[in-house]
Amino acid sequence: MNGITIALSKGRIFEETLPLLAAAGIVPDENPDTSRKLIIQTSRPDVRVVVVRASDVPTYVQHGAADLGVAGRDVLIEHGGAGLYQPLDLNIARCRMMVAVPEGFDYAHAVRQGARLKVATKYLRIAREHFAAKGVHVDLIKLYGSMELAPLAGLADAIVDLVSTGSTLKANRLVAVEHVLDISSRLIVNQAALKLKRESLAPILDAFTAAVRP
């Protein structure tokens, strides 16, 4: 009942969370990239890690299946954040959410107020809010991957996607034309867990806070 469960996704977020966990005295017994286990014990008997898809982390924490989690700001906005505290920006897994179009596409002309644009994205809520703020109508096409293909194949005029180095865009002759959001990962906490397990969660939160690099 008083154990702590932390939800993490594998890959970059897991790797970059390890130093923060270590600061709280938590060392996972295994690495999910090499192990197929979904529940990983740690050096602390009262703490375990569950390995879930990045976009599922807020769901696990919201429903109390995990007490803590690390989730990108993109994932949190899409989830809506109900039932969650997000007290700390961990400054890890940083990238940018951008609008990209094919080379030669006149984006400035296409997004005049009252215009209509076809946009392919995995991030429906972020895209809808971004274009709504500009007063541009968008038809959103939900895709799960390879967004770069959509404008090339004639599925959409533009995409809204995460960009870290820009090399995928370049390889497919797309250009990033507009910055939407800066993304980094947040520590998220189940609201009831922070009330019920404050005594054991607070030291972990404090250790993370002290270990975050600016």
Partner 1 sequence: MNWLLPDYLADALPLEAAQIERLRRLTLDLYARHGFELVMPPLVEYLDSLLTGSGQDLMLSTCKLVDQLSGRTLGVRADMTPQVARIDAHLLNREGVVRLCYCDSILHALPADQAASREPIQLGAEIYGHRGVEADIEVIRLMAATLSTVGAPADRIDLSHVGVFRALTQAAGLTPESEARLFKLLQQKDATNLAAACADIAEPWRSAFLRLPGLYGDATTLARARRELPALPALAAALESLQRLADAMPELPLSFDLADLRGYHYHTGVVFAAFRHGFAGAVARGGRYDGGGTAFGRDRPATGFSLDLRELARLAPQLAPRAAIAAPFAEQAGSPLAGTIAKLRAAGEIVVEHLPGAAEDSRCDRRLVRNAVAGASGETDAQWIIEVINRG
Residues that bind partner 1 (CB under 8 A): 1-2, 59, 62-65, 81-89, 186, 189-196, 198, 202
Tokens 């770069």 belong to which residue?
Answer: 148
Q: How many helices (H) and strands (E) does the chain have?
A: 9, 11
Q: Which is nearer to partner 1, 32 or 73 (CB)?
A: 73
Q: How far is CA 168 from CA 25, 33, 173, 206, in A?
A: 38, 23, 9, 38
Q: Cβ of residue 59: shortest distance to partner 1, in angstroms?
A: 8
Q: Which is nearer to partner 1, 86 or 168 (CB)?
A: 86
Q: Which is nearer to partner 1, 99 or 189 (CB)?
A: 189
Q: Cβ of residue 201: shortest distance to partner 1, in angstroms?
A: 11
Q: Which is nearer to partner 1, 120 or 181 (CB)?
A: 181
In 3-state terms the chain splits into helix, strand, coil percentages (rounded to 5) of: 35, 30, 35
Q: Cβ of residue 191: shortest distance to partner 1, in angstroms?
A: 7
End-to-end CA distance of the chain: 35
Q: Cβ of residue 141: shortest distance to partner 1, in angstroms?
A: 25
Q: Cβ of residue 199: shortest distance to partner 1, in angstroms?
A: 9
What are the φ/ψ torsions at residue 106 (nearest 5 degrees)? -85, 85
d(CA 106, CA 110): 6
Q: Which is nearer to partner 1, 1 or 171 (CB)?
A: 1
